[in-house]
Amino acid sequence: MKAIIAVIDGLNYHVGRAVMWLAIGTALVQFATVILRYVFAIGFIPMQESIWYMHAILFMTGAGFTLLQDGHVRVDILYRDAKPRTKAIIDLMGALFLLLPVCIAAFWLSFSYVTNSWRILERSTEVSGLPLIFALKTFIWVFAILVGLQGIALALRAIVALREHDENYSAAGIRPDSVH
């Protein structure tokens, strides 16, 4: 189980570290777009749409990394002060009965939406816009798969902690300071 956890954690860690650079790209392109529009009165639709693409890819692809880091918002009424065993049980139940079903539903319910977009090679409604709407919609699946995999790792991590009576249990997987 620990090997499976390590593989999933490693995947989301490396994907998250790779896409985090899109935040800088988004900010730079947004800055350039504003300067072009308001200083030089030049509108460049592909540049404007690329901001949407980078933003969507960053958040959809980085969601698994955020879960890996235990960075998602949680209702912290009981969890914060709970014992490690209780935290592991909450994480296990949450992953099995909430997180994984939502990921499966997101993938399943978006299936025809994404495949139809690919079938017609959907593009921007703007004449000079980016012709890659179909590729962008595929990131719904990337989101569902990466978060679903991290949910499996979370559940397995909780099972290992419950079996081993781990008093140092944490929902978080790989920490940035633990990777060389």
Instruction: For residue 49, name the pLDDT band (cuts at 50, 70, 90).
Output: very high
pTM of the model: 0.89
Q: Which two tokens stand for residue 120?
A: 């017609």
Q: What is the pLDDT of residue 179?
A: 54
Q: What is the pLDDT of residue 180?
A: 46
Q: What is the pLDDT of residue 177?
A: 52
Mean pLDDT of the chain: 92
Would you say residue 74 has pLDDT above 80? Answer: no
Would you say residue 168 has pLDDT above 60? Answer: yes
- Of residues 175 and 78, more confidence is placed in 78
